[in-house]
Chain A
C-alpha cells in the first residue's frame, strides 16, 4: 500500500530557530496537506497544496508541493513555544477523499 515517510521523527529546538520537516512517498499524490495535533486533540489543518511546485504560506508556516508530486516540506520560521506539537503530513492520491498520513514529527521548543 501507499506509505509516507516523514522526517525527522522529532525535533528539539531553541525558541526563535527555524524548523524544516518533510515527507516523501513512492507514489504520486494530487494533494498534500499539513496538520498539527496538540496532545489529546484532533489534528488541525495548517496548509493545503494542490499543484506540483505550489508554495503556500500561512503566517510563519510555509509549505511546498514537490515538483515530482512525491514529496512536500513544511517550514516554520522563528519558532515560538506554542508551536510545540505533532505535525503530520498527509497525501491524497485519488478522488476517494482518503488521506494517507505520515508518521508525524514531534516538535519541542525550548523558551
Chain B
C-alpha cells in the first residue's frame, strides 16, 4: 500500500515553454500532497503544500505564479512549471499523505526536468 506515481518520469523542454507534472496516490486518498525539488547531491527542498480543493501554500522564495499547483482530487495533484528557464532544471518529487496506515508522507519516483 501507499504507492505514489509521477508522470512523466523525465521531460526535456525548451526555454519559455510550460511543463505539467502529475502526482497520483494509487491506493489511498491523499488529503495533503507536497511538492519538492532536489538539486544534485543536495537534500529535498519543500516548494509547496496542497490540500484537496484549496489553494496551495508556498514556501518562502517559491514563486506561486511560476509553479502552479492544482490539487483537484484526493488522488491527483499537478505541478505546472510555467515559462521554464534552464535554472528550473531539477528533480521534482511529490509526496502524498493521509493514507489509511498513517499520516506519513510517501514519495513518488520523481520527475527529471531539463530545460534547454
Q: Are A97 and B103 in contact, CB atoms less than 8 angstroms apart?
A: yes
Q: Are A97 and B110 in contact, CB atoms less than 8 angstroms apart?
A: no
Q: Are A41 and B44 in contact, CB atoms less than 8 angstroms apart?
A: no
* B 34-56 to A, binary, CB cutoff 8 A, 1 in contact else 0: 10000000111010010000000
Q: How far is the CA of A77 from the CA of B42 in the complex (A)?
A: 26
Q: How far is the CA of A44 from the CA of B102 in the complex (A)?
A: 15
Q: Are B49 and A42 in contact, CB atoms less than 8 angstroms apart?
A: no
> Beyond A41-B110, A97-B97, A98-B49, is A88–B105 a contact (Cβ under 8 Å)?
no
B-side residues, CB < 8 A to A, are 4, 6, 32, 34, 42-44, 46, 49, 91, 93, 95, 97, 102-110, 112
A-side residues, CB < 8 A to B, are 33, 35, 40-45, 48, 88, 96-99, 101-104
What are 11 sample pairs from A and B whose C-beta atoms fall under 8 A apart?
Answer: A33-B104, A40-B91, A41-B109, A42-B4, A42-B6, A43-B107, A44-B107, A45-B107, A48-B102, A88-B44, A101-B44
